[in-house]
Copies of this chain bind each other. A is one copy, B any other.
Amino acid sequence: MPMILSKANENMTRKQRELFDREQLILDTAQQILNQQGTQGLTMDRVAAEIEYSKGTVYNHFSSKEEIISGISCRCMDNLTELFGRARDYNGSHRERIAAVGIAQSLYAQLHPVEMQNMQLIKSADVRDKISEEKQLELLQIEQKITGIVLEIVRDAMNNGDIPQDQPFIPDSIVLGLWSMGYGSNLLHMSGIPFKKLGMQQPLEMAWVNSHKLLDSYQWRPLSTTFDIYALREKLCKDLFPEEMKQLNSPK
């Protein structure tokens, strides 16, 4: 039974630190393979060979391949959480902050398409049942954290009087609306569907338009009719995600 070492800790013994480091090494390696060779290229043999330990040792840390995938997903969601955090702490209107969340999500999907696929994989299907309860709890906590950030922005906006309170289901409906639209457009973007061939716009571009349409419909002020959403996007990208923009624009 492998120890749960999701978080580093001051009080760890040398042995525990070693185990923790190796767990990170395994995840590092697995993620690298995933990025270079895709989902099907990620095999336990390859991971073991790369870290120069045996397969048995890998299984001492992760009791199945799914747990490794889940571990990678958790890392990615942590990274995404960090981006969301920047959005929440942005020194602007609440509407600008929630817009920044959308940008963060879209940027992340474009920068890390393979990981994004994986996060989707782990969320669905029987995969979630295959992982241990501890790892499931870890997943849940990160999901709570990331949802919490968005909820917090919406609640703050309500308290600030930016959103009329006489609407049913808010703030949940707003969070879920943005979430599903962002999630769906990301997946459509990554799908092989040839939107150009279908004579259509790109999903991610339309998500930007549509999320503002949705916020307008909730009367979240300032309404997008009073400002330029593209100027806002440029400003937020420059202020909050300069590094990410550079990565996105640099040739791979």
Q: Across the interface, which residues of B come within 8 angstroms of A12, CB to CB?
A: none
User: Chain A at the B interface: mostly helix, strand, loop or mixed?
Assistant: helix
Determine the interface band of chain A, counting residues with CB < 8 A from chain B: 35 or more
In chain A, residues 176-197, which have Cβ atoms closer than 8 Å to a Cβ of chain B? Answer: 176-177, 179-185, 187-188, 190-194, 197
**Which of B140, B169, B181, B213 lies in contact with A209, CB distance below 8 A?**
B169
CB pair A183 B188 closer than 8 Å: yes
Which of A38, A181, A187, A201 has the largest number of chain B CB atoms within 10 A?
Answer: A181
A227, chain B: closest CB distance, angstroms: 15
Q: Given contacts A180-B184, A192-B123, are A173 and B201 in contact (CB under 8 A)?
A: yes
Asked if A198 is an interface residue, CB under 8 A from chain B, the answer is yes
Nearest Cβ on chain B to A6's Cβ, whole angstroms: 19
User: Is the pair A185, B176 in contact by a Cβ cutoff of 8 Å?
Assistant: yes
Given known pairs A183-B184, A183-B187, the reply for A206 and B39 (CB within 8 Å) is no
Which residues of the partner chain B approach A175 to less than 8 Å between Cβ atoms? 200
The yes or no answer to A102 lying at the interface (CB within 8 A) is: no
Binds B, one of A21-29, A89-97, A124-132, A157-165: A124-132
Find A187's partner among B187, B217, B218 (CB 8 Å cutoff): B187
Sampled A-B contacts (12; CB under 8 Å):
A117-B125, A123-B187, A124-B192, A128-B191, A143-B198, A168-B209, A169-B209, A173-B201, A177-B209, A179-B188, A210-B214, A213-B214
Residues of A within 8 A of B (CB): 38-40, 117, 120, 123-126, 128-129, 140, 143-144, 147, 168-169, 172-173, 175-177, 179-185, 187-188, 190-194, 197-198, 200-201, 203, 206-207, 209-210, 213-214, 216-218
